[in-house]
Structure 1
Amino acid sequence: MTDFLTAALAPQSIAVIGASENPHKIGGRPIAYMQRMGYRGKLYPINPSRRELQGLACYPSLADLPEVPEMAIVIVAGDQAIAAVEDCAARGVRCAVVIASGFGETGPAGKAQQDHMRDVARAAGMRLVGPNTQGLANFGTGAIASFSTLFTEMPPADGPVAVVSQSGGMAAMAYGLLRERGLGVRHVHATGNEADVGVADLAWAVAQDPEVKLLLLYLEHIANPALLAATAAHARARGLPIVAVKAGRTAGGALAASSHTGSLANEDRVVDAFLRRHGIWRVRDPHALALAAPGYLQGWQPAGRRLVIVSNSGASCVMGADAAEQHGLQIATLSEATRRELAARLPGFATTTNPIDITAALLSNSGLFSEVLPVLAQDDAADMVFIHIPVSGAGYDVERFARDTATFAKASGKPVAVAAWQESVAAVFRAAGVATYANEHDALGALAQIADHMAMLREPLPQAEALPMPALPGASGLLNEADSLALLAAQGLPVVQHRLCRTADAARAAFAELGGPVAVKACSRDVPHKSEHGLVALNLNDADAVATTFTQQWNQLAAMGAAQDGVLVATMRRGRHEAMVGAHIDPQFGPVVAVGDGGKYVEAMRDVALLVPPFDQAEVVAALGKLRIAPLLAGTRGDPPLDVQALADVAVQVGRLIVAAQGRIASIDLNPVLLSAAGEGATIVDALVELKDSE
């Protein structure tokens, strides 16, 4: 571990500045928690009005301590907090946790004070957590620099889960939901305003802990995507799944996140692409964050999405099948051999097709689970099993049901989730180590999430290539269409045949060379959207019309005061569908590529997928398959399938180009890209490239 990681997660000595005798006050809670959890380091309460505090010697100031503590918890407010941080930096404290609020979240003046504390800390080589943080808690070491009420309401237990959150409230909520499920939690860290240390820093830290088997994140902004990506790569290598809530999905949510943390929210669809690229599973809220935790901790590795449903109720079988479809799970088709073997074990009135209704016979034969489940284990079609028990209790041998289910899950290695709304029944299954939920939607949601997440993590990651820098003009700003198409053609992209003309005679010659019909379009770096100004003419089929249109467009450019870069004469191409490919440099995440439905309604319909390079054709094809236009791409109502592979290749090439340009290309817009039938290719018929100044 680096010095910071050691000081933050396993400090040998901790000072509490603003300590309180009252274990229920913010200044008293960290001390009470650490004494209760057996913190083995040295604990130094600081309070000038007391000599002793919670059974510990108390000191008037940091300067009076017998040693420089590795960590200081700053609980005093306002100017006192600023002075305390300055003191800590001067004394050589390695990590300060500033619980005090009233800084960056309050406005510009508070932000300036917060920045001052950060600058003082950085100048001294000290790391700053907060301000406005609930604090850090490591139940593995007993170092609890936190005042969370939940640690009193729901007693801690060390375990394999780590929670890192920008919000203290969301950290506490995730912790509470996990403890409610009986799961131990080792790390609960909140970063607050993130003047210095952010979620990515602490995520990296806890990912180094070999006892952590599941990492849960709550983010309101992603200040250090490179470090988060490195954490995800390390986690993938050691088999540590990461699940995240990224708040601020909507415009309103983004505004709320900004006012709450003093930070700007990231563009949500780019966040989706970034998290997906790095194998981080995104969920909607802290409830969903904890939902699948039992399955992750049991090491579920479903081979696919095929599900077997078993219940003692026919209605539950039907409802389970409905819920499975909603979650995108397939009802497995069992083999004839499996069905025959089930029929030999079940009553004649039971159902042996999937879903399997074992009926109320479960009441009289408590061994039915032990008879049915091993049969399913032998069927390759059964990737996972869902057991729904809507009725049980007195007269049922619930302990045997749970024991048999747990034995099956361990022996077969297949993911098994149980739904039991009766808490008395659910508690028995949980005690046996079975992932248990109150209803079918939660149980199947957990199965579906882990199936999808594990499939994502099994996909080989395309590696970044060392690409040559493309030849680019020296100037910045928009390139005209001819220059944009030339840049793309030089990279091997399929651009439409065209000629740039500066006289009517040249336009006639271009028509004669290309043959009709042609499109005639004004070409000016000052007019990126030509159709809005009537500067596009389509389907011209004789030389005189081309020459006349040239003259009209040339003169209109002059009348508009726009640069007369020329007029394009281009072959008219007939595609079966208009697609688009675009790319831009996101200020947080770097190059991002968009691919999907194109045409003039592209912004209104927004049926595009975002991808973070590097990626390959297979990843693009998979992303296109999730769009609303997927049925059209696959061919429908007698139309042939479209050349999705050609579109994917354009997207891959555009991703390579914008990465190779090393920031010089600000954006690329290819719309439309005309798609032909499968095997017949794609053609870029309009392009716009924007350059940035070289640094």
Structure 2
Amino acid sequence: MTASLKAALDPCSIAVIGASENPNKIGGRPLLYLSRFGFRGAVHPINPNRGEVQGLRAVPRLSDLDEAPDLAVIAVPGEAAVAALDECAAVGVKVAVMMASGFGETAGGKAREAEMAARARARGLRVVGPNSQGLANFGTGAVASFSTMFIEAPPADGPVGIVSQSGAMSVVPYGLLRGRGIGVRHAHATGNDADVTVCELAASVAEDPGLRLLLLYLESIPDPHHLAQAAAVARARDLPIVALKSGRTPAGQAAALSHTGALANEDRVVDAFLEQHGIWRARDTGDLVAAAELYLKGWRPAGRRLVAISNSGATCVLAADAASAVGMPLEPLAADTQARLRTILPSFAATANPVDITAALLTNSRLFGEILPVIAADPSADAFLIGVPVAGQGYDVPAFARDAAAFAAETGKPVVVNAPQPGVAAAFRDQGLPVFASEGGAVQALHQFIAHHELIARAAPAVPAPPRRAPAGPARLLNEAESLARLAAAGLPVVPHRLCRSAEEAVAALDALGAPVAVKGCSRDVPHKSDLGLVHLGLREPDGVARAVAACRDGLARAGAAYEGVIVAAMVQGRRELLIGAHRDPSFGPVVVIGDGGRYVEALPDSQILLPPFGPEAVRAALARLRIAPILAGVRGEPPFALDAFVAAVCAVGRLMEDPAIDSLDVNPILVGTDETACLALDAVIVVRDPAD
């Protein structure tokens, strides 16, 4: 952690510029919190009109203090905030939390905000904000925030950290967790990320040894390398990260831009990046915190086979449906386990899986305690759901809860409880078990917990460097011959072909390559040749080749495109056309796309994204997620496709995109078959950027 960010998270002294006597004003709330929540460092109100604020000695200016504070809260608006930021830099403040709005989140304000932040950083001052609700570390009492939530839901230090670009989303998860009795140590809002970004702050928060779960709210990912660093720190510490990234839709992206000035990232690239680094992506606010108790239990899931146990047949069926939907099989319990259960349960009870105790639980409250140890010894289970949809008077609910807690301790495996009645839920929750109001919610949280651990296990081991800056010159298209040559040099197999300038050269290429051949117009002005009638296939005779050359020349002339010859290529056989594409994302750097190829790729898209660096295993895993994966594996007696050469070609493209001068490339189609020699790139388009003059 850098010294400046340590000052943000654990300052020794704090100044509040614009300090107010009124604790319900933005300049008064931080003073109230610093006093109420036990901050042990020095607190300095800055107010030119008062000698004392909330019982603390005030001074007119920062320069009136004997020494510069570590952290300054700027709680004044507009130009006064800019002046205060400059004063912070002048006196040597390490970090300023700028609460003022009206900068990068407004039209035309981004450049002004960037200039202001750059000026501060050049003088050694780090800036959180502007448009920040503030920082809150309940482990140290350094609560430099104006959120009302900390009054509504009193804090308790705990094992969860929250880092958010949004002020509201730094405290809404906090409130949900506190309502469930879970302590929260960090609740930070970075606002517009003009300097200190949500990703950089997350990397520092991840170093806190007291954390066991880190939650993030992101409207953009301005510096993925810092988020990758946070993920690497978290994996080394066995700290799961769950992120809610908004802006999945164009409407959401537009709202994010108006909210924090965030630049929307292509959503599928975000998915790929988070997956690559072992970060679970939540769907909504509830999903962000849904599995919190499971993460905090310290369980280590070994698989995803589920056993459901309930006193309701309906709950058993609903749990089975929910589990099937997320790929958690309910395998039958072992025969000897079922035999032992039948000696305990009524003859009409179900003992295979799910285990239906039936309403007999009402007359015999010992049934839970008797069957759970039997199930605990069964080897067919990796996780458990205990459903108690209805209980109360006549049921020994405290005994059920104690038995379930003992069962969880004995197995050491994840256990979730479905109990919609508040009193019943409280009994299980008091025993430290995760409780959910519905079967679906319980299963979904369990699935997230297990799938997240699987994700972490296959996460990228290294932190990528920040993307290399591309040349500043204009983009230009390489023609097909140049593109194929660039790919061949990188190790991709390309179709045998020749670039011909005349009909005579094309006829000679027919003789050399052997019939049939394809003839295609070649021009750096035309990325898609078939749209202009520039592709002629299956040619066998010299006259046909000569006519195709003339047609290509005329077609390019009608389109106003330069004629750079024709490609004469061998016609080759294969079973499937795939594609490899790549482009350079302004935030994430190189992005590689693989999938089903051919002429209908836009109409019937089926693709997956990979972010370099990656290896063959990542490519194979991406291929397995395609809708055409069963076809590639072989169906109805057909042999599987030989994909080693294709996988190697994808890896070669990943390495090729390390060259920042390559802006994008499109290899479509690349032919594959049952023989590795059938893997050939048939067409390619590469866009490069040249250095600026």
TM-aligned CA distance change 1:462 to 1:6, over 3 Å: closer
The letter for the 2-side match of 1:252 is A
The letter for the 2-side match of 1:667 is S
Q: What RMSD in Å do the two structures reach over aligned CA positions? A: 2.3
TM-aligned CA distance change 1:277 to 1:694, over 3 Å: farther
Q: Does the 8 A contact of 2:577 with 2:596 survive in 1?
A: yes
The letter for the 1-side match of 2:481 is A
What corresponds to 1:56 in structure 2? Answer: 56
Residue 398 (1) aligns with residue 418 (2): no
Q: Deviations 1:290-344 (Å, cap 9, x if unpaired)?
A: 0111111112322222111111111111111111122222222322232223223
- Counterpart CA distance in 1 for 2:426 and 2:675 is 55
Deviation of 1:640 (Å): 4.2
What corresponds to 1:124 in structure 2? Answer: 123
Count of residue correspondences: 687
Q: Does the 8 A contact of 1:482 with 1:500 survive in 2?
A: yes
Q: Does the 8 A contact of 2:228 with 2:463 survive in 1?
A: no
What corresponds to 1:30 in structure 2? Answer: 30
- Counterpart CA distance in 2 for 1:236 and 1:627 is 28
- Partner SS, residue 113 of structure 2: helix
Residue 14 (1) aligns with residue 11 (2): no
Deviation of 1:586 (Å): 0.9
TM-aligned CA distance change 1:396 to 1:37, over 3 Å: same
Q: 2:684 aligns with which of 681, 684, 687?
A: 687
Q: Deviations 1:172-226 (Å, cap 9, x if unpaired)?
A: 1111111122111000000111111110121011111100111111111111111
- Counterpart CA distance in 2 for 1:372 and 1:337 is 13
What corresponds to 1:190 in structure 2? Answer: 189
Aligned 1:110-149 pairs, distance under 5 A: 110-149=109-148
What corresponds to 2:665 in structure 1? Answer: 668
TM-aligned CA distance change 1:228 to 1:464, over 3 Å: closer
- Partner SS, residue 314 of structure 2: helix
Q: Deviations 1:428-458 (Å, cap 9, x if unpaired)?
A: 2112111111111211111111211111111
Residue 89 (1) aligns with residue 86 (2): no
Q: Does the 8 A contact of 1:369 with 1:401 survive in 2?
A: yes
TM-aligned CA distance change 1:215 to 1:559, over 3 Å: same
Q: Does the 8 A contact of 1:537 with 1:549 survive in 2?
A: yes
- Partner SS, residue 33 of structure 2: helix
Aligned 1:654-665 pairs, distance under 5 A: 654-659=653-658, 661=659, 663-665=660-662
What corresponds to 1:566 in structure 2? Answer: 565
The letter for the 2-side match of 1:675 is V
- Counterpart CA distance in 2 for 1:379 and 1:150 is 46
Q: Does the 8 A contact of 2:521 with 2:552 survive in 1?
A: yes
Deviation of 1:634 (Å): 3.2
- Partner SS, residue 406 of structure 1: helix
Aligned 1:382-531 pairs, distance under 5 A: 382-459=381-458, 461=460, 477-531=476-530
Aligned 1:331-346 pairs, distance under 5 A: 331-346=330-345
Q: Does the 8 A contact of 2:225 with 2:463 survive in 1?
A: no
Structure 1 residues 265-274 or 674-683, which shifts more? Answer: 674-683
Q: Deviations 1:239-261 (Å, cap 9, x if unpaired)?
A: 11111111111111111111111
TM-aligned CA distance change 1:681 to 1:437, over 3 Å: farther
The letter for the 2-side match of 1:405 is A
What corresponds to 1:267 in structure 2? Answer: 266
The letter for the 1-side match of 2:662 is I
Aligned 1:522-601 pairs, distance under 5 A: 522-601=521-600
- Partner SS, residue 245 of structure 1: strand
Structure 1 residues 333-342 or 282-291, which shifts more? Answer: 333-342
TM-aligned CA distance change 1:483 to 1:462, over 3 Å: farther
Q: Does the 8 A contact of 1:462 with 1:614 survive in 2?
A: no
Deviation of 1:364 (Å): 2.8
TM-aligned CA distance change 1:312 to 1:645, over 3 Å: farther
What corresponds to 1:305 in structure 2? Answer: 304
Q: Deviations 1:453-484 (Å, cap 9, x if unpaired)?
A: 11111126376999xx9xxxx99722211222
What corresponds to 2:215 in structure 1? Answer: 216
TM-score normalised by L of structure 1: 0.94
Deviation of 1:658 (Å): 1.4
Aligned 1:285-296 pairs, distance under 5 A: 285-296=284-295
- Partner SS, residue 14 of structure 1: strand
Q: Does the 8 A contact of 2:278 with 2:460 survive in 1?
A: no
- Counterpart CA distance in 1 for 2:116 and 2:561 is 51
Q: Does the 8 A contact of 1:621 with 1:645 survive in 2?
A: no
Q: Does the 8 A contact of 1:641 with 1:678 survive in 2?
A: no
TM-aligned CA distance change 1:133 to 1:599, over 3 Å: same
What corresponds to 1:154 in structure 2? Answer: 153
Q: Deviations 1:68-87 (Å, cap 9, x if unpaired)?
A: 21111111112221221121
Q: Does the 8 A contact of 1:464 with 1:614 survive in 2?
A: no
The letter for the 2-side match of 1:614 is P
What corresponds to 2:365 in structure 1? Answer: 366
The letter for the 2-side match of 1:609 is Q
- Counterpart CA distance in 2 for 1:527 and 1:12 is 63
Structure 1 residues 486-495 or 383-392, which shifts more? Answer: 486-495
TM-aligned CA distance change 1:560 to 1:102, over 3 Å: closer
Deviation of 1:358 (Å): 1.2
Residue 230 (1) aligns with residue 250 (2): no
The letter for the 1-side match of 2:240 is P
Deviation of 1:679 (Å): 6.0
- Counterpart CA distance in 2 for 1:363 and 1:649 is 63
Structure 1 residues 317-326 or 626-635, which shifts more? Answer: 626-635
What corresponds to 1:330 in structure 2? Answer: 329
- Counterpart CA distance in 2 for 1:301 and 1:309 is 19
Q: What is the aligned-residue identity percentage?
A: 57
Structure 1 residues 451-460 or 181-190, which shifts more? Answer: 451-460
Deviation of 1:23 (Å): 2.1
Deviation of 1:386 (Å): 1.2
- Counterpart CA distance in 2 for 1:444 and 1:101 is 42
Q: Does the 8 A contact of 2:516 with 2:570 survive in 1?
A: yes
- Partner SS, residue 602 of structure 2: helix
Structure 1 residues 298-307 or 236-245, which shifts more? Answer: 298-307
Q: Deviations 1:257-300 (Å, cap 9, x if unpaired)?
A: 11111231111111111111111111122211101111111123
Deviation of 1:127 (Å): 0.8
- Counterpart CA distance in 2 for 1:344 and 1:572 is 72
Q: Does the 8 A contact of 1:135 with 1:168 survive in 2?
A: yes
Q: Does the 8 A contact of 2:312 with 2:389 survive in 1?
A: yes
Q: Does the 8 A contact of 1:462 with 1:616 survive in 2?
A: no
The letter for the 1-side match of 2:681 is I
Structure 1 residues 627-636 or 82-91, which shifts more? Answer: 627-636
- Counterpart CA distance in 1 for 2:112 and 2:573 is 62
TM-score normalised by L of structure 2: 0.94
Q: Does the 8 A contact of 2:491 with 2:649 survive in 1?
A: no
Residue 41 (1) aligns with residue 41 (2): yes
- Counterpart CA distance in 1 for 2:179 and 2:646 is 48
TM-aligned CA distance change 1:206 to 1:465, over 3 Å: closer
TM-aligned CA distance change 1:94 to 1:344, over 3 Å: same
- Counterpart CA distance in 1 for 2:596 and 2:581 is 11
Q: Does the 8 A contact of 2:533 with 2:555 survive in 1?
A: no
- Counterpart CA distance in 2 for 1:26 and 1:461 is 42
- Partner SS, residue 262 of structure 2: coil
Structure 1 residues 562-571 or 379-388, which shifts more? Answer: 562-571
Segments of 5+ residues of structure 2 without an aligned counterpart are none
- Counterpart CA distance in 2 for 1:596 and 1:323 is 30
What corresponds to 2:347 in structure 1? Answer: 348
- Partner SS, residue 395 of structure 2: coil
The letter for the 2-side match of 1:240 is L
Deviation of 1:639 (Å): 4.5
- Partner SS, residue 410 of structure 1: helix
- Partner SS, residue 519 of structure 2: strand
